[in-house]
Structure 1
Amino acid sequence: MPQLLDKKIEILQIKHIRGPNMWCWVEVLEAWIDIGELEDYPSDKIPGFYDRLVNKLPSLVEHRCSYEERGGFLKRVEEGTWPVHIMEHLTLELQGLAGFAGGFGRARETTNRGIYKLIVASPHEQVTRKAIEYARQLLLSLIQDQPFDLEPCIEDLRELIDDLCLGPSTREIVNAGVKQSIPSIRLSSGNLVQLGYGALQKRIWTAETAQTGAIAETISRDKDLTKSLLSTVGVPIPEGELVDNPEHAWEVAQSIGLPVVVKPQDGNHGRGVFTNLQTESEIIAAYKVAVEEGSGVLVEKFIEGDEHRLLVVGDHLVAAAKGEECKVIGDGLHTILELIDRQINSDPRRGSSEDFPLNPVRIDSIAHLELQSQGFEPESIPALGRAVLIQRNGNVAFDVTDLVHPSVAKKVVLAAKVVGLDIAGVDLVAKDISKPMEEQGAAIVEVNAGPGLLMHIKPAKGKPREVGRAIIEHLFPDNSVGRIPVIGVCGSSSAKEVAHLCAYLLKLANHYVGLSSEKGLYFNQHPVQRMNSSEWDSGRRTLMNPMVTAAVIQATPKGIINEGLPYDLCQVGVITSVDLQETFPEDSIVEERQLFSVHRTQIDALIPEKGIAVLNADEAISAEIAEINPGKEIIFFTLNHQNTLIEKHRSEGKSTIVGNPEAIHLYKGQKIVYSIPLADVAYFQANKSSKNLLEIVSAIATLWAIEIPLETIEAGLEAYSPESLEV
């Protein structure tokens, strides 16, 4: 299509919005896209576009779009829609094909013709930036009827997700926390995550927690010490001892009886572990590999049976998986290496990333020794029908949780406790996990800290187990959620002053207070940093401080537009005022409805059915914002005792506050429950302005919402001045 070959789509800028925002509740990227002359070419005006799109990405049929039905988006394309709307769906689909399913998306016009905002949910900023660029390239190729190789793009996104996003074990725990309304903060580029806020936080690193002791982890790495402790309390272990050299290894093997296992004293992930060794040459060869993997070598009696991994969380066994042998069957034509690829690695459950329950089989030193014991080399061609063992216990990924005998469960829980681990992966060898260990000569061979969870989350066979939920319930018992009181304050004016006043009064109520405002970051009234960093970063720091028992975080309208809120949910959301004339043309925010969307973000972020909105009844917009309140209650405040919104609220038996130059009255329904005279409040008496009065009234409403004693509030007001903060 010659007339379209010179048309361009240009990405002008990309904004990373990291918290709840005017678009949605999750992290998004907002890209500004210039489609130029393509503004005149909706999809129905491009011959063949629909067919090319469907042929390239048939999975787009699952996108419901505004029709709220399967195929809804494709229906929009057929009827005619604009390029950035199509880019939105392409970006989401590319992310989905790479492993990030679902997600929020929007395409919106700006005040400039041909320039649009593209907003999409982001698993990671770098991933979504790349997905947007690939969507742009793909869209242009479809418009211009040019070839485009999609698979390398999807593979690139997959690799980025694997490298940059949380691993499956950590993600499982975090997602379980989300279901229990526990917030999370990623503390590193790896898998270190904070669950909860402030003083109620817990930390995890994959399946290790802040409760996992350093001594316990050290013990678990020392296999000989672990065995000694287990033996002390009667847990069955294999006979064996540490050895100093290959000859000593052979002597011990003869002493305890063949076959034996040779393994590193402090290795992990099965590296350097050789099983079922029968001869001196095998044992010497195994020693030479094992000694390179750890600080010492163990020789143990070989236990007949299958390898099992049992996951202990707290006082409970929560999941169990079994390993299975990996074999190939000779066909008289292909080498063992070729048979492995044909018969084993072709299994779609096998892959190199953490999302696959089974790993590809490779000929490592252990497998090589196993082959040699059967008279083979990797290049050998087994006879037709000849079974060749490659791995004695391939991947431990076959769920057997429901088969575990109760006495076995008790033994593995005891093993974890003896080592001192709150979360442990216990390796046990048994012929039949449904029978007591003593009946079959079974033994526990290792107790591991930080066990992988993927085998239980996504077993190769059997029922997935909710191990993430078990860990969350262990860290946050009795449905606790790890939330300190978080007060979010927003407004066109007075928000900073209200935030500082609230922080001061909270400290008087014996809270260690984190305060983030336009002035800077404060911990318990002490300035930590002037506001030369972003609002989001400053607010986030208040929630990461393990001393903070209450946080007050101011958000400016500009901050909400550019970064979003630094928390997922807050207990109290305050809107002091809304200036509908305050526009942000540089962000294409110029209409009242757009300003409404910005300010309502503060109320959208309330804890559902528990949070409290504090709204200025003198603002016309407050009644409409109140209608979308997801929390349990609204406290209206006013400087006008004849305010109709206040009167209606009061007639319904709800909480209101009315201020005048003499006193501030707190109502529950029609009844005054408390009055605070202003004669001794120096902050007001200094100039007796309505602005100061508004700040005092809204601060009182905020602290009343979190049940700070009214006597404390009154006493604090009498002592407060803006200089109360060390600035």
Structure 2
Amino acid sequence: MTEDRPTPTGPAAPELTIVESRVYRGGNVWSYDPSVHLVVDLGILEQYPTDLLDGFTDQLIELLPGLENHSCSRGVKGGFIQRLREGTWLGHVAEHVALQLQQEAGHDQRRGKTRAAKGHPGRYNVIYGYTDEGVGVAAGELAVRLVNHLVRAEEGFDFDSALEVFLKRAERTAFGPSTAAILEEAVSRDIPFIRLNSASLVQLGQGVHAQRIRATMTSKTGALAVDIAGDKDLTTKLLGSAGLPVPKQATVRGAEDAVAAARRIGFPVVVKPLDGNHGRGVCLNLESDDDVREAYAIAREQSRRGSVIVESFVTGKDYRCLIVGGRMQAIAERVPAHVVGDGEHTVSELVDITNADPRRGVGHEKVLTRIKVDRAAEGLVREQGFAMDQVPPQGTMVKLALTGNMSTGGISVDRTFDAHPDNVEIAEEAARMVGLDVAGIDFICPDIASPVRETGGAICEVNAAPGFRMHTHPTIGEPQFIARPVVDLLFPPGAPSRVPIVAVTGTNGKTTTSRMIAHIMKGVGRKVGMTSTDGIVVDERLVFKADASGPKSARMVLQNPRVDFAVMEVARGGILREGLGYDRNDVAVVTNVAPDHLGLRGIDTVEQLADVKAVIVEAVPRNGFAVLNADDPLVRRMRRRCSGSIIWFTTSEPGSSVRDFVDGHCRRGGRAVVLEPSDKGDMIVIRHGRRAMQLAWTHLLPSTFGGTAMFNVSNAMAAAGAAFAVGTGLHEIRQGLRTFSTSYYLSPGRMNQVNVNNIDVIVDYCHNAPGMKVLGEFVERYAAAKAGSSDLGKISRLGVIATAGDRRDEDMRELGMLAAQHFDVIVVREDERLRGRRRGDTAALVAEGAKNAMAEGARCRQVEIVTDELSAVRHVMARANPGDIVVVCVDQHGVVMNELETMTKQAQPGTHTADSLADPDLDPNVMSAAAQVSGEEATDQDLAEHDAEEPEPVRS
């Protein structure tokens, strides 16, 4: 604290505002776990830490006493209160209030941090964990409002009312007790889950191992069994045919038919809907015709199909037996909703006192349900000799419902270990007869500890999707951990729940590396799901065409039931926007980090960009691997962030400092992929400790263009390291790399080579300066090799180049300068999406950089601007002569490849080139649609949620 701070008078008005909010659904730059990120601006409050705000701390503690449990950075209970009294800034206060608000809603969240935003005095990054993202965001908004209110009271703001609204919202979106119990057990076993809707439909596990639950109904629950359990008449007949004790019953569709059935069965009887649930419409102990007629109307209203059951009334206590996988797991005695007189309060007052129990809520939101007083309850009270405004004697039990359902306000008593073995066997047989994997068997008998065949009793219902809360949270007795056998049913001990995930990132190289890894794993029989900037590919089928390098695409892959291996291309923008979208990856591959997309989303330096890319390295578990480029200093530093093992890959020559570093790693038992030069060429070698295993000659890999494309050599080494990390055999890795080519089928838009009328055309996604540097080096080597084997004389090099409009001006000029070093003629075009620039501005900056390089003696002779992509391609092809090399850096690769194919066919009617693209994807109409997907229309669906950055070249 400085001495020139304001005196404790407080600001004129509160100014804490939320500038930006973001929800991370996986690991992110701030946390390993899902988090809410608020950028808040304190305004004038930057000058007022909490010790200068009179009464602020005391008022805050009075409203949220739970803050006293926050340890904060002190690490002890009450640490945050100490910070408040010593003086801390209000952004930090908002973080803790947001966490405590979630605690009030029953969400146990304690993770959070607040950091000043660099370059923006008074702005802070507030990050805190969440259980439900909607509740988490709402907690942050209410926290900011409360802090402002305590600084200067907001007219009309009542915190208690606002808190009640917040809690009701949390209750609406929260999982019910049954679902929550299963998910808690799944998480304890490291089984991941994905919520599939706003209710209780949840996927447990990933890909081919996935199972689904909806409350206590599972993927293994048969639809036929559910239908049988829903038909109470059929259920009773099936159980009766197996010799199980069931009441006499009849199905009727009219009041008089019900009376007749009751007379045949014999009074007293029960009337209930044929296909009801939760005890709704059930009327018990009916002893006259009039009672049956009245009960019929009630039951008919709750029957979906209009049929009503009349059955004999079995006297005794109400027991629910839970059967999971054919075995009894828990038994609860259900006591109907009631109050017990104290000699002071009326029945109505006793109900209010009972409902004030914090364990009681509306419906199934809490472990107990509030007692509802309706006409039926009032009538039942009168039958017991009381009125609602009458005071019952002390100790007198007054029932408010006949059935013991928890949903009508009943309570439960655990009787799991009291049941007689005969009764357990009967309940298990009933579940098997109906065919349910998870069943609730309702027993009525004098005592579950005595055999019902001797004492009397019967099974009155078999329920599909039975509630768990009477077992997990009994009012009396020990809770039973019944979620365990349910999860055992879905994932037997030792059964996998996760698919291997390989995450690939880097400035350049990630798309091709991802495709190489997917190709290798396809060769060993895996059903690979892959996300990339081109779309989502499942088992070599393009199922979604768009920039799919974001977290939502990752979740789409993990939800696909065919996928048993996932390869995720992870882009910078997706990490910054939503995090990874999953909790961890088994292998992380980082190809390189170079200046690109700087100046966006707060990333201004290449070191900050490296921190973003390192998120996938931090997501590697202790038994996982990070495959890192040892040639890149920024990537080398990421080793300190990895909990698992490191596999280095390097193209450095033996004897270099980088190679010495990698050799030392291997001598200590580590793994690496290196190049061993010889007079026959470069050999890719996998090293594990002191063991060296030769993989392949670089010039024999189709993707390397005879070894001249060093960036693809590096990509192949990264892919080999990743495949080796997941246990793939050496032969399978070698075969995968030998059969992976840069044809349009295997690697669309990445170094696709097409011969158009004897002009060598290479189509690639190169949109940044680092990519242009390695592409230019390839052009030099490729042109030299071609000139040595050609008798056509001088070979010219022509390039069509472009960059995205959201890059910095200096990045655009640098792209042009680098291109001018390697091409004789440059045609500058623009992408369809301008990204905030006016048409022609981006091209002008790129051309300016090329012309500056020409003035300094660069190779380039001429620079032209043709902004439209197809027009630029036609223009450059018109200028090229046979034998020349044309490099087209594309935006819409399908459209460009279709145009090149058309040029070839026009020159040679009825013939096809060796790489002819007779592909339905190249139909002009389809290409037009593809252009839209990668352009404006895609923003409505996926470009808004996926990364907006450009697909990168094969290195990228």
Correspondence 1:515 to 2:525: no
Deviates more, 1:622-631 or 1:382-391: 382-391
Task: Give the whole-Å Cα distance in 1 for the aligned partners of 2:633 and 2:458.
Answer: 73
Distance apart, 1:88 and its partner CA: 0.4
Change (3 A) 1:447 1:680: same
> Which residue of the partner structure matches residue 637 of structure 1?
649
The aligned counterpart of 1:588 is 602
Q: TM-score, normalised by structure 1?
A: 0.94
**CA deviation after TM superposition for structure 1 residue 11, in Å:** 1.0
Residues in 2 aligned to 1:568 and 1:119: alpha-carbon distance in whole angstroms: 17
For 1:278, the equivalent position in structure 2 comes to 287
Of 182, 189, 196, 1:180 maps to: 189
| Structure 1 partner of 2:308 | 297
- 8 Å CA contact retained: 1:224, 1:242: yes
In structure 2, the residue matched to 1:37 is 44
Deviations 1:501-552 (A, max 9, x none): 1112221221221110122211222323333467112121111111112111
The structure 2 residue matched to 1:433, chosen from 421, 429, 448, is 448
- How far apart, in 2, do the equivalents of 1:383 and 1:280 lie? 33
Q: CA deviation at 1:14?
A: 0.8
Amino acid at match of 2:623: K
Report what 2:922 is aligned to.
none
Unaligned runs of 5+ in 2: 1-7, 405-409, 749-956
When residues 80 and 312 of structure 1 are mapped into structure 2, their CA distance, relative to the original with a 3 A threshold, is: same
- Contact 2:550-2:573 at 8 Å conserved across structures: no
After alignment, is 252-261 or 527-536 more displaced? 527-536
Contact 1:180 1:479 survives alignment (8 Å):
no
Task: Give, in angstroms, the shift of residue 617 of structure 1.
Answer: 2.2
Correspondence 1:70 to 2:77: yes
Aligned mates of 1:356, 1:675 — CA distance in 2: 60
**1:240-389 → structure 2 map (5 Å cutoff):** 240-294=249-303, 295-328=306-339, 336-342=347-353, 344-364=354-374, 366-371=376-381, 373-374=383-384, 378=388, 388-389=398-399
Q: Structure 2 vs 1, CA of residues 550 and 373 (structure 1 numbering), >3 Å: closer, same or farther?
A: same
* Aligned Cα root-mean-square deviation (Å): 2.5
State which of 604, 607, 617 in structure 1 corresponds to 2:630. Answer: 617
Q: Which position in structure 1 is the counterpart of 2:934?
A: none
Contact (CA 8 Å) 1:654, 1:669: kept in 2 or not?
yes
The superposition leaves residues 52-101 of structure 1 with CA deviations (integer Å, 9 ceiling, x where unpaired) of 33333222111111111111111122222111011100111111112212
Partner of residue 670, structure 2: 654
SS in 2 for 1:194: strand
Counterparts of 2:706 and 2:221, CA distance in 1 = 55
CA contact (8 A) 1:181 1:481 kept: no
Equivalent positions of 1:570-609 (< 5 A) are: 570-579=585-594, 581=595, 584-590=598-604, 594-606=608-620, 608-609=621-622
* Other structure's SS at 2:466 match: coil
Equivalent position to 1:547, from 554, 557, 562:
562
| % identical equivalent positions | 34
SS in structure 1 at match of 2:738: helix
1:405·1:435 contact (CA, 8 Å) conserved in 2? yes
Contact 1:306/1:322, CA 8 A, preserved across alignment: yes
Q: Structure 1: 5+ residue runs without aligned partners?
A: none
- Aligned to 2:439, which of 418, 424, 432? 424
| CA–CA separation in structure 2 for the residues paired with 1:358 and 1:77 | 38
Rate the CA distance shift 1:170–1:645 in 2: closer, same or farther, 3 A.
farther
Give the one of 378, 400, 413 matched to 2:415: 400
Give, as a single letter, the amino acid of the residue that structure 2 aligns with 1:205. R
Match in the other structure for 1:231: 240
Aligned to 2:900: none
Structure 1 residues 591 and 45, CA, compared in 2 at 3 Å: closer, same or farther?
Answer: farther
Which residue of 2 is the match for residue 121 of structure 1? 129
Q: Structure 2: how far apart are the matches of 1:38 and 1:624?
A: 38
Partner in structure 2 of residue 212 of structure 1:
221
Give the CA deviation at 1:439: 2.5
Count of aligned pairs between the two proteins? 723
Q: Which of 1 and 2 has greater Rg?
A: 2
CA distance in 2, matches of 1:95, 1:321: 32
Give the residue type in structure 1 aligned to 2:128: V
> Partner letter of residue 354 of structure 1?
H
Distance 1:288 1:53, change over 3 A: closer
Distance 1:156 1:459 in 2: 28
Q: Which amino acid aligns with 2:274?
A: Q
Give the superposition deviation at 1:596: 4.8
Report the Cα distance in structure 2 between the residues aligned to 1:383 and 1:712, rounded to whole angstroms. Answer: 83
Structure 1 position 708 matched with structure 2 position 728: yes
C-alpha distance in 2 between matches for 1:261 and 1:604 = 62
Q: Which moved more, 1:199-208 or 1:328-337?
A: 328-337
The residue that corresponds to 2:30 in the other structure is: 23
Among 663, 669, 672, the alignment partner of 2:683 is 663
Q: Letter of the aligned partner of 1:671 in structure 2?
A: R
Task: Indicate how the Cα distance of structure 1 residues 203 and 112 shifts in structure 2: closer, same or farther if over 3 A, else same.
Answer: same
For residues 269-323 of structure 1, the C-alpha deviation after alignment (integer angstroms, 9 at most, x for no partner) is 1011111222222122111111221131111111121111122111322222111
CA deviations 1:474-515 (Å, max 9, x no partner) are: 100014241112111122221111111111222122122111
The 8 Å contact of residues 663 and 675 in structure 1, kept in 2 or not, is answered as yes
Cross-structure match for 1:557: 572
User: Are the equivalent residues in 2 in contact too, given 1:123–1:165 (CA < 8 A)?
Assistant: no
Partner of 2:272, secondary structure, is: strand
The answer to whether the Cα contact below 8 Å between 2:667 and 2:690 also exists between their aligned partners in 1 is yes
Equivalent position amino acid for 2:313 in 1: F
1:50 is displaced (CA, Å) by: 2.8
1:349–1:460: 8 Å Cα contact kept in structure 2? no
User: Does the 8 Å contact 1:655/1:667 carry over to 2?
Assistant: yes
Match of 1:4 in 2: 11
Change (3 A) 1:304 1:367: same
